[in-house]
Amino acid sequence: MARKYARLMVTIWKDDDYKSLGLELQGLYNALLAYPDISWCGIIDYIPKRLIQIDKTLTEVSLWEKLATLHNHGMIAIDQSTDEMLVRTFIKHDGIMKQPNVAKAMAKAIDSVHSETLRDMIFYELGRLYIADPDMDGFTALDQGFGLTKLLIEESAEAIIERSRKPSRDT
């Protein structure tokens, strides 16, 4: 089933990174969330000629500059070797894991991600969601036929927990 609408949670206005972007970049980020071809796991094909259609004033260079800023703020990630872009918290903010059938569609979409780096980032985000609420209906659905996906999510969650126990080198 294709998406008919996109969610924009009002809690985004509590996110300092989002607020620091300014209206132009916020608009681009929101456009990516509502992009018609975004997959159930938050992947968009990185095809600049198609993406500049979001805003007719964009050029490929200005699009790249804006996307680089979104990347630097941790909002998106791009793998140029596979021409894929990830809207990092799409799964969380679109409520994917609250809906069992949509969670299954998301798991199938992950199988179509060519970038290992972006796939790892998706599992990292799923791991964070799993830590926050392992009883979401979507996780149960994944366990009933997508055991490997559930296992990877649990491993990601364990890695996140382990990483949080180690002192940071930055401090």
Task: For the chain of 171 residues, list the mean pLDDT of each consecutive stretch of 10.
Answer: 67 84 92 92 95 90 95 94 95 89 91 93 89 87 69 72 60 35
Q: What is the pLDDT of residue 7?
A: 73
Q: What is the pLDDT of residue 32?
A: 94
Q: What is the pLDDT of residue 2?
A: 60
Q: What is the pLDDT of residue 170?
A: 42
Q: What is the pLDDT of residue 169?
A: 46
CATH fit for domain 10-90, picks 1.10.10, 1.10.3470, 1.10.287, 1.10.357? 1.10.10
Distances (CA, A) of 112 to 73, 79, 137, 158, 170: 26, 14, 23, 25, 36
For the chain, how far is it from start to end, CA to CA, in angstroms?
46
What is the distance between the alpha carbons of residues 114 and 109, in angstroms, rounded to a whole number? 10
Q: What stretch(es) of the chain map to CATH 1.10.10?
A: 10-90
Secondary structure of the chain in HEC code, one letter for each residue:
CCCCCCCCCHHHHHCHHHHCCCHHHHHHHHHHHCCCCCCCCCEEECCHHHHHHHCCCCCHHHHHHHHHHHHHCCCEEEECCCCEEEECCHHHHCCHHHCHHHHHHHHHHHHCCCCHHHHHHHHHHHHHHHHHCCCCHHHHHHHCCCHHHHHHHHHHHHHHHHHHHCCCCCC
Q: What is the pLDDT of residue 163?
A: 67
